[in-house]
Amino acid sequence: MMDAGSSGTRVYVYNWPCRSTANSPADINISQDALNTRVTPGLSTFGSNIAGIGPYFKPLIDFAMKNIPAAQVPQVPLFLRATAGMRLLSQTQQDAILTETRRVFRNTTFLFSNDARLFLSCFFFFNI
């Protein structure tokens, strides 16, 4: 999970038990001890520098890859939640940033669908 805030983007590497059957409890208990690291500035600063997005995400992706067993990486979904600064950009700039972010994420070995949506929201997806 990547949280793109106004002053930086942080990647969180979570571990949670998967449900093994349809009758398993629906609750997912996400570890509060998630591994994380952060880069600055905020993703929204790339509105006029789309080429900088790949290098921006590289240390975050490298951190996640280092902390997930290699054999499991293709099964690990990659999510981005963008908040704050992204809302201040024009729709054209938002679209350009998210299009390039999709391209960067598709070029990783993480589970990321070509039609995956990246979310602009006014709240954090996981509040830890």
User: Residue 57: inside a domain, yes or no?
Assistant: yes
Q: What is the pLDDT of residues 32-41, one digit of tens each?
A: 567 899 999 9
User: Residue 21: inside a domain, yes or no?
Assistant: no
Domain span holding position 34: 2-16+28-120
User: Residue 9: inside a domain, yes or no?
Assistant: yes
User: Residue 70: inside a domain, yes or no?
Assistant: yes
Q: What is the pLDDT of residues 59-85, one digit of tens each?
A: 999 999 999 989 989 988 888 888 778
Instruction: Provide the token pair at 39.
Output: 């880069």
Number of domains in the chain: 1
User: Residue 126: inside a domain, yes or no?
Assistant: no
Residues ≥6 apart with Cβ < 8 Å to 78: 2, 64, 105, 108, 110, 111, 112
User: Residue 128: inside a domain, yes or no?
Assistant: no
What CATH number is given to the structural domain containing 94?
3.30.420.40
Q: What are phi and psi of 16, to 5 degrees?
A: -145, 150
